[in-house]
């Protein structure tokens, strides 16, 4: 195996300057997301979500961003999953987007809360049938005996909803992470990366440059 400490990559695509960014980090994120989509970045909406217990014990996993509003970033999950249980214990969390093709990263920190049921219903109703059935069938994060057990649960719900609308299960829905800190990272040569950080202070955003 190659010595992984010797693996290096020079980042040279772009630079990131204070004069070129929006005064609002959510607007700046939207610009970067649109550029990632236009560049056909692989899974541009995939994001690492880190949560923690009330004791501060962390967990991280990949979820898909499903909405951006002026207040924050929306994703959906099972309300009985490990991440949901941790959010109940500790409502503070972090997200990390990494768009390798653009040599960019965005870090987001803030508070998470559930979105209104009406919004969760609207998104659930837009999902493909198989995804709806999966939401009903999967006891997310729980130990199950086998793959076959899960497939049988899906079949059971297929039969149950064969002749009626598949409504949203009460234990499934959306969350929004409302940021109080966002950092935009642009790779640069010689490890001298550009890092611009926005912090929320009394309802306004403060922009600062960080050392790489």
Residue 39's CATH number: 2.30.110.10
Q: According to the model, what pLDDT value does residue 9 have?
A: 78
The domain in which residue 48 lies consists of 9-127+170-210
Whether 28 maps to a domain, the answer reads yes
CA atoms within 13 A on the CB side of 196: 19
What is the 3 state secondary structure string of the chain? CCCHHHCCCCCCCCCCCHHHCCCCHHHHHHHHHHHHHHCCCCCCCEEEEEEECCCCCEEEEEEECCEECCCCEEEEEECCCHHHHHHHHCCEEEEEEEEHHHCEEEEEEEEEEECCHHHHHHHHHHCCHHHHHHHHHCCCCCCCCCHHHHHHHHHHHHHHCCCCCCCCCCCEEEEEEEEEEEEEEECCHHHCCEEEEEEEECCEEEEEEECC
What is the number of domains present in the chain?
1
Q: According to the model, what pLDDT value does residue 149 have?
A: 93
Whether 148 maps to a domain, the answer reads no
Q: According to the model, what pLDDT value does residue 13 have?
A: 86
* C-alpha pair distances (Å), 170 with each of 33, 53, 80, 142: 31, 23, 10, 17
Q: According to the model, what pLDDT value does residue 185 have?
A: 98
Whether 31 maps to a domain, the answer reads yes
Size of the chain in residues = 212
Q: According to the model, what pLDDT value does residue 3 have?
A: 85
Q: According to the model, what pLDDT value does residue 50 have?
A: 98
The residues with which 77 forms a beta bridge, in sequence order, are 173
Whether 66 maps to a domain, the answer reads yes
Q: According to the model, what pLDDT value does residue 145 have?
A: 94
Q: According to the model, what pLDDT value does residue 39 have?
A: 97
Whether 143 maps to a domain, the answer reads no
| Stretches in the chain below the pLDDT threshold 70 | none
Whether 42 maps to a domain, the answer reads yes
Q: According to the model, what pLDDT value does residue 64 have?
A: 98
Q: According to the model, what pLDDT value does residue 94 have?
A: 98
Whether 145 maps to a domain, the answer reads no
CA 108: distance to chain centroid? Answer: 9
Nearest C-alpha neighbor of 153 from the set 169, 140, 137, 139: 137
CA atoms within 13 A on the CB side of 10: 3
């Amino acid at each position: 195996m190659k010595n992984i400490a010797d693996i290096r990559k020079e980042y040279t695509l772009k630079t990131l300057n204070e004069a070129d960014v929006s005064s609002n980090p959510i607007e700046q994120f939207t610009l970067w997301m649109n550029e990632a989509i236009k560049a056909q970045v692989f899974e541009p909406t995939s994001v690492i979500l880190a949560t923690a217990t009330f004791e501060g014990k962390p967990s991280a996993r990949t979820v898909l961003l499903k909405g951006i509003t002026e207040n924050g970033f929306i994703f959906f999950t099972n309300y009985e999953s490990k991440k949901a249980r941790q959010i109940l214990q500790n409502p503070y969390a972090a997200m990390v987007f990494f768009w390798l093709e653009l040599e960019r990263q965005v870090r987001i920190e803030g508070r998470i809360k559930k979105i209104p049921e009406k919004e969760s219903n609207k998104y659930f109703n837009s999902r493909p049938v198989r995804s709806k059935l999966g939401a009903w069938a999967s006891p997310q994060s729980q130990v199950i005996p086998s793959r076959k057990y899960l497939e049988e649960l899906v079949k059971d719900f297929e039969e149950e909803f064969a002749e009626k609308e598949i409504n949203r299960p009460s234990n499934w829905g959306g969350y929004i992470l409302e940021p109080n800190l966002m950092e935009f990272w642009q790779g640069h040569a010689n490890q001298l990366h550009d890092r611009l950080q926005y912090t929320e202070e009394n309802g306004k955003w403060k922009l600062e440059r960080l050392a790489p």
